[in-house]
A and B are shown apart, each in its own frame.
Chain A
Amino acid sequence: MTSTPLAAPTAPPRSISGKRPLSRAGSILLLFLGGVLTLAPFYFMFIFATHPRQEIFSLPPPTWFGHDLTNNYESLLSRMPFWRNLWNSLYLAVLTTATTLFFCTLGGYAFAMYEFKGKSWLFGLLLATLLIPSTLNIVPFALIMQALGWIDTPRALWIPGMANAFGIFLMRQYIGSAIPRELVEAARIDGATEFTTFRKVIVPLTGPAMATLGLVTFVQSWNGFLGPLIIFRSAETYTAPLALRTLQGIANTDWGALMCGVALTVVPLLILFAFASRRLIDGLTSGALKG
């Protein structure tokens, strides 16, 4: 921080968003450099996906697209059932998202719109569960899933998290602030049961919050690693990240094929992010900011 004193008090006070050209240029330069460093690894991911292994590891390293994308792709398919693995990822993420949305909206609705005995205590308990580090859960989680016979099945991953504290909290905040209570009471007077009220009144009005929670849940499930690492044990049930990891482990890794697979798992999220970055960022940081 430079300590340039401000102009004499007669001048209009300059706000922090000031018009000092030097600090503005400095800001832009800093952000530009940081942006380049942030994007560079993505760039090289796409570049390497089009080069064979011996070109990736040559001097100087390739900085522009090569001609081996199809070779890499075929090599990838010969090494692992890639589309099967990608389908596993998609299946898990969609199922996780759908069930999370249903149960978290339901729970959030109850906490936002009802008065019932023990409510504040139960809500406090719900928030407290957010503070428990997952450290203690890893080994018992594996053992419980073993005991339940859920190893190698996606339900081991989507059932435990489908009604989670973060989602319920997020939905409660939204429902409590965006939906007037009178709507619910009007539905009641019309003779609707509580669940019908939820289905016909609440659900149609929670679109924005559901989009946020849905995106966050989808991305986290799609990118998950430790959970799938514990649960999935065979090449057929692996999710895409897990399958790619095993490819990295073997000697003489075909880095071109691996990069091609990595790019194929990253691209769907990049597309999703291009359309919904604002919502996704808000959702991912809201747990930290509001909590």
Chain B
Amino acid sequence: MTAPPAKLTPTPPIPKVGGWDNFQRKYAPYIFISPFFLLFFVFGLFPILFNAYLSVHEWQPGSGLGDMKFVGLRNFTDNLTDPTFWLSLKNTAILAVESGLPQHLIAIPLAFAINMGLKRAQSFITAIYFLPYITSVVAISVIFFTLFSWQYGVLNAALNSLHQIPILGVLFPADKINWLGERAFVQPSIAMVIVWRYVGWNMLLYLSGLQAIPGELYEAAAVDGATRSEQFRFITLPLLRPTIFLAVTLSLIGGFQLFEEPFILTNGGGGVGQAGLTTIMYMFRTYNAYSDAGLAAAMAWLLFIVIGLLTLVNNFAFGRSGTGNNEAAK
């Protein structure tokens, strides 16, 4: 662009056309961003403060606001002495690990495979893997609910026919698994659905992480005689570490807020032995069915603290060292 330099003075002369023009120019940006801040105060910040207020009160939403009774920390101690709360927290943690870990262990090789073998069909393949992520949880859960059926389900039928294979068949169970009907299998079943849903999403994160690594690094390393496994160890892994950190953090935070999948797969009830009851589900039940808003609010804070602590631990364990190791790759 070559424009006459005279016209490119950085600040346009402010025309002296009176108050309105200056006024609207000065305040326009504030007006433009005000909807966000107004809505955030009403529907974002206020609820959090309200939640804090609620958590130290005993209150049933059915009765009027006047019926709020200050109870100090009793809601917190009530939660902490409630075995079901601990059970829900344990379930949430197990589900977060059972669904979180496989997601990454499957997504990383898939991202490598796409990056390595299939440059041309790449967008088609990523689109297929991404489909579950854009499908509603209700639809997914309803579909899996039938696939999980004990006597007549597709999953058991498929496992059974895999069991018939001569030698490899030993790897697959001979008996039908009562997926959602037996306590031991409730959590793995829910985890399976979540893994199925989020593998594509994680694969995409890893793929863009892999593609951000400049190819010259590998070429330089190859010239220096580095083997492929050395390239993987000294280039790919350290440079991929921020991506791994990001993806793990996201599934950690998401995993501890699990609600929709377990809620629908267990028909809202938590399943056999409450094995599918997550903390958010229990909180929802405490508010919705038990009508105890204060107790539910305190539970939300407890879960918030757990998530915060885990994020801190995760930051400490992977975040810093992740950036530190990048130096080694240079």
Contacts and interface: CB of A to CB of B under 8 A. Distances in A.
A1 B301 CA distance: 44
Contacts of B115: 16-17
Nearest to B135: A266
B44 interface: yes
A141 B304 contact: no
B297 A57 contact: no
B283 interface: yes
B296 interface: yes
Interface size class of B (residues with CB under 8 A): 35 or more
B218 interface: yes
B12 A6 contact: no
Contacts of B67: none
B119 A248 contact: no
A213 B1 CA distance: 31
A107 B26 CA distance: 15
Contact of A38 (B137, B196, B296, B301): B196
Interface stretch (B28-36, B76-84, B164-172, B182-190): B28-36
A223 B264 CA distance: 14
B29 A110 contact: yes
B147 interface: yes
B294 to A, nearest CB: 9
A178 interface: no
B105 to A, nearest CB: 13
A116 to B, nearest CB: 5
Nearest to B140: A41
B160 to A, nearest CB: 9
Interface string A125-153: 01001001111111111111010000000
A135 B123 contact: no
Contact of A226 (B46, B260, B301): B260
Contacts of A134: 257
Interface in B230-266: 231-232, 246, 250, 253, 257, 259-260, 264
A270 B297 CA distance: 38
A106 B36 CA distance: 10
B315 to A, nearest CB: 12
Contacts of A174: none
A116 B138 CA distance: 45
A204 interface: no
Contact of B215 (A15, A143, A189, A195): A15
Contacts of B109: 30
A188 interface: yes
A124 B54 CA distance: 28
A269 interface: yes
B95 interface: no
B148 to A, nearest CB: 11
Nearest to A181: B10
Given A262-B142, A288-B250, A185 B12 contact: yes
Interface in A23-50: 23-28, 30-31, 34-35, 37-39, 41-42, 44-45, 48
A259 B141 CA distance: 11
Given A241-B138, A259-B142, A111 B246 contact: no
A1 B119 CA distance: 20
B110 A163 contact: no
Contacts of B201: 284-285
A9 B260 CA distance: 55
A258 interface: yes
A161 B39 CA distance: 8
B118 A31 contact: yes
A265 B133 CA distance: 15
B287 A1 contact: no
A136 B48 contact: yes
Contacts of B131: 38-39, 42, 270, 273
Contacts of B301: 136
Interface stretch (B96-104, B149-157, B320-328): B149-157
A80 interface: no
Contacts of A9: 223, 225
Given A24-B116, A35-B125, A114 B28 contact: yes
B174 interface: no
Interface string A158-201: 01111111001000000000000010010011010111001000
B157 A61 contact: yes
A207 interface: no
Contact of B47 (A48, A114, A141, A188): A141
Given A139-B296, A141-B47, A255-B146, 5 more contacts: A34-B110, A38-B199, A225-B137, A273-B131, A289-B208
13 contacts: A13-B219, A26-B117, A28-B113, A39-B131, A134-B257, A135-B303, A136-B300, A140-B297, A143-B61, A168-B36, A191-B17, A223-B136, A248-B142
Interface of A: 1-6, 9, 13-18, 23-28, 30-31, 34-35, 37-39, 41-42, 44-45, 48, 56-61, 103, 106-107, 109-111, 114, 116, 119, 122, 126, 129, 132-144, 146, 159-165, 168, 182, 185, 188-189, 191, 193-195, 198, 219, 222-223, 225-226, 241-242, 244-245, 248-249, 255, 258-259, 262, 265-266, 269-270, 273, 277-278, 280-281, 284-285, 288-289
Interface of B: 8, 12, 15, 17, 21, 24-26, 28-30, 32-33, 35-37, 39-40, 42-44, 46-48, 50-51, 54, 61, 106, 109-110, 112-119, 123, 125-140, 142-147, 149, 151-154, 157, 196, 199-201, 204-205, 208, 215, 218-219, 222-223, 225-229, 231-232, 246, 250, 253, 257, 259-260, 264, 267-268, 280, 283-284, 287, 293, 296-297, 300-301, 303-304, 307
